Structure 1
Amino acid sequence: MSKTVKLAGTAGAFVVAGAAATLLNGRQRTRRRRRRGEDVEFGTVRSDGLTVVASDGVPLHVEVDEADRKTPTIVFLHGWVENIDIWHYQRLALRGQVRMVFLDSRSHGRSGRASVTRSTLADLADDVLTVIDQLVPRGPIVLVGHSMGGMTIMQLARTHPELFGRRIKGVVLLGTSSGQLMRTSPALRYLVPMLRTGAPVLDWGRRFNSYSVIRRWGLGPAAAERHADMANEMILQAPTHVLVDFYPNFVDLDLEAGLAALGRARTTVVGGTADLLTPVRHSRRLADLIPDAKLVVLPDVGHMLMFEDHEAVTQAIEDVLADVREDM
């Protein structure tokens, strides 16, 4: 048999195996979705979308949940390969009680794609400024950020410290880090070889056994199946280029220069003891370095803490909100 025929046969088998795996995964996802038993279906908590154009022309998808009381406004910033659906439980719990702004970060969710050179934390922080200027031009603000969203807040504090304590009165940092992630994050070390193989292989591999991978690396061991399934569904919506384009932000991450400014706002740091992406030691370090920060540690909770222990996360946000309102 010629080498060409062998290669063709191997490639054909690979394609057939991939198609079969995709079909099987699709059926499994459907069964898991049916078993969720949700009161409100995941992905349906929405309001009319707005488009805010970033400084470099990228269209940013934003949704605003209005409330009778117009201030303060909470601005929610999601993490890497996530979208605004990560706030499913918090949005339901707080709806009508406070004005909320939800931003799909550039290249994520319904926002437009940014170039690889404009996929930095500095660009994300600039996007937050643009959204604030257009949608929250006055009144106090509470920023809530998960993972990369928390890093975006720290980047904003580094470049615009004057906003903290003046306009930004409260901050909640969820499952995030100010640096040294590559040395301490088992999940990121696991991801590096996959990123180096290239996007086509990643596209196929992500769908081959995505649920098991996300459950292993993204959630704690006691996480409910529905929460792992919600995370899987959301993350698979992110194109593979988002993984590749934003990954360099975490290699030499160092955001400690902005932490002193965060202390001017009422700041709470929340971390899970089973988080393999941003281990809880990073939350503890943040709480130590941010003046007067409060630390909330969630036992056996992984990186998707907004799903896994959504009541505790919502409570942390409500506590900061109450403090900000008391000072108004």
Structure 2
Amino acid sequence: MKRITTAAITAGAFAGAGVAASLLRRQRIVQRRRHLGGDAPFGSVRGDRYTVEAADGVAINVEVDEPDPDGDADLTIVFVHGWMCDQDTWHFQRLHLRGSARLVFVDQRGHGASGASSATGSSLAHLADDLARVIREHGKGRVVVVGHSMGGMATMQLAADHPELFGGTVVGVALVGTSAGRLMRGTPALERMAWLVRRAGPVLDWGRAFNSESVIRRWAVGPDADPARAAMVDEMIARAPSRVVVDFYPNFPSLDLFEALSTLADVPVTVVCGTADLLTPPKHSRRLAEAIDGARLVLVEGAGHMVMLEKPREVDDAIDDLIGQVG
């Protein structure tokens, strides 16, 4: 039983007065947002809702927060969550950045309020094409993509499939708690997940429901995570239908996105990872930062895989610095 439940979840300087003015304006907005108090109830922060139709007809749910009058209307930040999560992954970053730019939050196919996918429609190529469509429809001006875990993989796949976007429409990328490959080697959580996926069926639903909090605390967050933040993760993952475990899992054993990394070097890239991440351990982020010319590596001490919920200030600061690089 323990085995079942354990496996169940598994650069440069700024140039020009225009850039400086833009940065100062953004900093004023950031300070205003931080002084609002800001911890709105988890799941309660919503925006204007749109549907983007995928190539195969799946309805992709997108929410957009428009910038304030003094915000940067020429900057769009697109947030892409990971496996078994949804757009509430970015709860704190949404509160922090709201009004400073156009914010676009995507529910990946099969997740959140997006339409159901299928085993044959759950590849990274599908996710990358969905993301390309979202950017085309809602990415006004310069676009920064922030992807966590499988969302980071979708972003790297986008670079492989649509390299023309990078250095043009897409001007910056943040890769959070993710990997370009060799993911199944020495990652116990995913090795145990393989055992579960082979059995699947009703045991999957039972395993996810049984003592899920302890599973989250073991694998998804750092050992000293605030219980309230761990509860947020538990609540969100519990919303994901169990079929996404089986449908999307095949992307991981064969993951190999290293050839796409040279394309990412065309834009500023920040790689973020918690030092206590057991699902995509820091070695994967170090490998990404080494392979992407000019990439910045940010290691967040003590945080686990859900670093953006556990240590939001550190992730906020990393995104702020990235936005400063793109002007």
Listed one character per residue, the Cα deviations across residues 106-126 of structure 1 (whole Å, up to 9, x for unaligned) are: 000000011210100000000
Which residue is equivalent to 1:240? 242
- Measure how far apart 1:48 and its partner are: 2.6
Q: Match for 2:124: what amino acid?
A: L
Count of residue correspondences: 288
2:53 corresponding residue in structure 1 = 53
- Are 2:112 and 1:109 equivalent residues in the alignment? yes
Within 5 Å, give how 1:1-12 maps onto structure 2: none
Q: Which residue identity does 1:184 align to in structure 2? A: G
2:31 is aligned to none
Aligned to 1:134: 137
Distance in 2 of aligned mates of 1:293 and 1:105:
26
The reply to whether residue 91 of structure 1 matches residue 94 of structure 2 is yes
Counting aligned pairs with the same residue, the percent is: 55
Contact map agreement 1:199 1:240 (CA 8 A) in 2: no
1:248-287 matched pairs, under 5 angstroms: 248-287=250-289
Residue 61 of structure 2 aligns to which amino acid in structure 1? H
Runs of 4+ aligned residues of structure 1 deviating over 6 Å after TM superposition are none
CA RMSD of aligned residues (A): 1.2
- Asked if the contact 1:184–1:279 (Cα under 8 Å) also holds between the matched residues in 2, the reply is no
Alignment map for 1:130-209 (pairs within 5 Å):
130-136=133-139, 138-209=140-211
TM-score scaled to structure 1, two decimals?
0.86
8 Å CA contact 1:83–1:108 kept in 2: the answer is: yes
Distance 1:74 1:185 in 2: 31
Give the structure 1 partner of residue 7 of structure 2: none
1: CA distance, partners of 2:259 / 2:42: 37
Instruction: Find the aligned partners of 2:182 and 2:272 in 1 and give their Cα distance.
Output: 18
The AA in structure 2 aligned to 1:49 is R
Contact map agreement 1:71 1:139 (CA 8 A) in 2: yes
Q: Distance in 2 between matches of 1:99 and 1:130?
A: 17
Unaligned 5+ runs, structure 2: 1-37
Give the structure with the larger helix fraction. Answer: 1
Residue 239 of structure 1 aligns to a residue in which SS? coil
Q: Over residues 259-311 of structure 1, what are the superposed CA-to-partner deviations in whole Å (9 max), with x where a residue is unaligned?
A: 00101111000111110000000000000000100001111110000011110
Q: Distance between the aligned counterparts of 2:187 and 2:164, measured in 1? A: 32
Q: Secondary structure at the match of 1:72?
A: strand
1:100 equivalenced with 2:111 (yes/no): no
| Of 115, 122, 125, the match for 1:119 | 122
> 1:224 is matched by which residue type in structure 2?
D
